[in-house]
Structure formats: C-alpha cells, structure tokens
C-alpha cells in the first residue's frame, strides 16, 4: 500500500471519534414527558451557596434557603416554615440537579424556564444553570430556556417595611451595548446547547418586563432594531429563527410613543412570536387580607385569559400558578401588615386537589384556544419564598407533581 493512502486511512481513523460525537449530538432524542403538550415550569435560581454577589452582601454560603428556614407563621393557621423533603440543596451541584431533572421528567415536566439575570455589569445567579443543570450527564430528559428577568433587583432578603422602600441593588434598565453583549452570551453559551428548548426549530427567549426593555433601548425604534439584530445573530449561528416571547404583565406604552395605541400594537411592532404570564397575581389582586381564596384567584385569572388572548395576534400560552405566600421575604421582626410586596396577602386552599382542578381547566382552555403548539407555563418549580413550588415539601410531599402526572400523563 502506498504511503499517501496509508496517511489518508490514518487521518480517517483519527477523525472517526469526533465524527461519532457530532453524530450523537445531532441524534439526541428527548423524552416527551407530557404527550401533546409542552409543560414549561419557571425555575428561580437563588438556591446555590456560591454566588459572589450574594456572599458580598449576606456572607459566605448565603442562599435564599436562609429565608425559608427563618420564616414564621404570621397569622392564625398560617403554614410556615416550609420544610423541603429533599433538604436545603445546592442547585449548582450536578448531582442535585440530576435528582430534580429525574423528578421533573417522571411527573410530566418538559422544560425549565430559568429566571435569568444579566445587568450592566454582567450575569447574576447563573451558576445554578451553568454549574448545575448544564453539567448533568442525563441531559435529554428535560429541556431548558431563558426568561430574561430584566427587573430591578432590590433588597427583599428580607424587606423591612418600617424602613421604607427596599434599597435598589441592580437596576433592570441596561444600555443597548449591554443588550448586544447579552445576546452574544446567550447564543454562544445557551442556544448552542442541545438541551435548549426550541419551538419549530427556533430558540425560545422570553422578556419579563417589556416596558423596561423598550425604555432601555431608548424607545420603540431602538427596541425594534435591537431585537432584529438579535434575530439575525441567531440565524447566523445556524438556527432557523428566534422565538421571542413576552411576559404580558410588563407591557406598557411609553408616554412618548404616540403612534402606538395599545400594548398589542407593541407586540406586533417588535415582532414578538408569543405571549405568556409569569404568575396569577400579576393579573389578579389578592383582595382579602391576610388570605384570599385560591379558587377565586383562579377564576379571575381564566377570565383574564378569555379576554386577553382575543386582543393579540400572537398565541397566548396560559399559566397555572401553584400558590402564593411571599411572607418569608418580609422581615419576621416586624408586625405583619398589608404593606405591599412581599408583605401582602397569601393564597389559601391551594391544595393539590385545587391545583389539579386548575391544571384541568388550563388544559381545556388550551385545547380550545391554541391551534398550534400547546404550551402551558407553570409557576413554579422552586419559588419557595413566594409560596409557589413543585419541589416536595413536608405537608403535601409529591402530591402537586402527582397532579401534573395525572392530568397530562393519565397516571
């Protein structure tokens, strides 16, 4: 055999392992955890104990578990503190996230939508995703996506209402240059992951406060240009397009934007692909203090759904909220009162049975009103200090997860 041919064969043999890796990456098969639907659950990543910003303010090893541990009953019959059956876990540990992914997949969850933070000085709370979820070996069970939580970050850990407004740590308003860097970061570090959630081949990216984003970009024209550039960069990276989602509670019209008459026009102008909600209390006030009935909030929310989805051209993905109790974020050292978030009313009777009824109502609404992708968002996987979490707790254990399994997997 001649030398050139031998060299060619050696080269082929050397490249074969890399070819196999690429093929395996392309052929990754995801488990359909809730057949016919995409159940996307919000994930709040403030439960790892190695975040530098948190440690700078609250001390080494701090995470929001400290508020969970220190919560106390604030009125008769109030169930606090909440005690997690899995313990006070560190979500930046891949073994911990493996456990969470396994449970989510088993009970019907398809996607974790991470509350994702990026301010003018860079990312925040990213280690739960980057050191935890993304380093899990069994990565085809649950997908992930981002909701850019571009709100002001204020001191709620805990908030003392007697001292006035909570101090501002990181403003949600960013510069256009920051947004440009942010989108580069997202495309390179997340969209490129085989586990990133795509709708019709397009990576899903949600914006929490659209009003603040428009303000950050200097108005609707700047916002439109920034999102168009984001789309082009996404396509240049090899994706079909970008799926832009708006969380509807933050949609307002700037006083200077006279051409736009209503929020629906803003969604069109900025070419959003869909809208959804984060939590029911963004649409329904908790009128009875200290407790408002869960079923009452549920009915008012679905009344909102019925009206709102008819006002926009984009599909609206409905939300199911598990509960609401933000009292752990309210200073335990002061008398409890209705002082505004997080010192506010809680939802009562958000039992697994009532949560299951909400899931059934949402499924029925989705079947009736969504002709394409049947997507439902759920609040949430682990909002422990807002009283809305699927992770098992001592009172009801796995019953909330079992409710999802029963409604969407028929088990």
Residues in the chain: 411
Spell 119-145 as b/e; 16+ CB within 10 A means b.
bbeebbbbbbbebbbbebeebebbbbb
* Digit-coded pLDDT (tens) for 342-376: 999 999 999 999 999 999 999 999 999 999 999 99
* pLDDT, position 31: 82
* pLDDT, position 6: 45
- SS3 at position 15: helix
* pLDDT, position 28: 64
Identify the H or E element spanning 307.
helix 294-308
Rounded CA separation 409/39 (Å): 11
Average pLDDT per consecutive 10 residues, the chain (411 residues; last block may be shorter): 48 38 47 94 97 94 98 97 98 97 98 98 97 91 98 96 94 98 98 97 98 96 98 98 95 78 94 98 96 98 97 98 98 95 98 98 98 96 98 98 96 70
Domains annotated for the chain, with CATH where assigned, are 38-409 (3.20.20.80)
* Digit-coded pLDDT (tens) for 105-159: 999 999 999 999 999 999 999 999 999 999 998 778 999 999 999 999 999 999 9
* pLDDT, position 257: 76
Rounded CA separation 87/83 (Å): 8
Round to the nearest angstrom and report the end-to-end CA distance of the chain. 63
Beta strands in 137-240 (DSSP E): 143-148, 153-154, 168-170, 198-199, 202-207
* pLDDT, position 250: 81
Count of C-beta atoms within a 10 Å radius of residue 323: 24
What DSSP designation does 159 have?
B
Count of C-beta atoms within a 10 Å radius of residue 171: 15
Kindly tell me the burial class for residue 95, based on how many C-beta atoms sit within 10 Å of its own C-beta (0-12, 13-18, 19 or more): exposed
Strand partners, 126: none
* pLDDT, position 255: 77
Rounded CA separation 56/156 (Å): 15
């Amino acid at each position: 055999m001649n030398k050139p041919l031998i060299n060619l064969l050696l080269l082929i043999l050397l490249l074969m392992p890399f070819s196999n890796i690429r093929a395996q990456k392309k052929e990754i098969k995801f488990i359909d955890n809730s057949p016919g639907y995409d159940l996307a659950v919000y994930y709040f990543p403030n439960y790892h104990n190695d975040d530098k910003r948190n440690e700078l303010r609250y001390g080494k090893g701090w995470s929001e578990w400290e508020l969970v541990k220190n919560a106390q009953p604030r009125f008769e019959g109030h169930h606090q503190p909440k005690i997690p059956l899995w313990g006070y876990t560190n979500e930046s540990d891949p073994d911990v996230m493996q456990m969470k992914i396994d449970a989510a997949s088993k009970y019907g969850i398809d996607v974790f939508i991470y509350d994702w933070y990026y301010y003018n000085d860079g990312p925040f709370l990213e280690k739960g995703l980057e050191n935890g979820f993304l380093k899990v070996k069994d990565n085809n069970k649950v997908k992930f996506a981002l909701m850019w939580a571009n709100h002001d970050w204020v001191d709620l850990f805990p908030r003392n209402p007697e001292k006035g407004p909570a101090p501002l740590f990181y403003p949600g308003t960013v510069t256009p240059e920051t947004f440009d860097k942010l989108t580069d970061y997202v495309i390179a570090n997340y969209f490129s992951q085989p586990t990133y959630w795509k709708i019709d081949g397009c990576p899903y990216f949600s914006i929490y406060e659209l009003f603040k984003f428009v303000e950050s970009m200097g108005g609707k024209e700047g916002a439109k240009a920034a999102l168009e550039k984001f789309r082009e960069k996404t396509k240049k990276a090899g994706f079909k397009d970008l799926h832009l989602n708006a969380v509807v509670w933050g949609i307002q019209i700037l006083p200077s934007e006279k051409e736009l008459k209503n929020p629906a026009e803003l969604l069109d102008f900025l070419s959003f692909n869909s809208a959804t909600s984060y939590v029911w209390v963004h649409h329904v006030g908790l009128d009875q203090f200290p407790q408002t009935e869960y079923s009452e909030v549920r009915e008012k929310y679905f009344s909102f759904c019925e009206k709102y989805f008819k006002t926009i051209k984009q599909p609206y993905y409905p939300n199911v909220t598990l509960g609401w109790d933000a009292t752990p974020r309210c200073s335990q050292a002061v008398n409890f009162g209705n002082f505004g978030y997080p010192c506010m009313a809680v939802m009562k009777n958000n039992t697994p049975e009532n949560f299951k009824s909400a899931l059934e109502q949402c499924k029925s609404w989705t079947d009736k009103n969504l002709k394409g992708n049947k997507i439902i968002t759920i609040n949430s996987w682990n909002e422990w200090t807002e009283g809305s979490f699927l992770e098992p707790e001592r009172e009801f254990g796995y019953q909330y997860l079992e409710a999802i399994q029963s409604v969407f997997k028929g088990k």
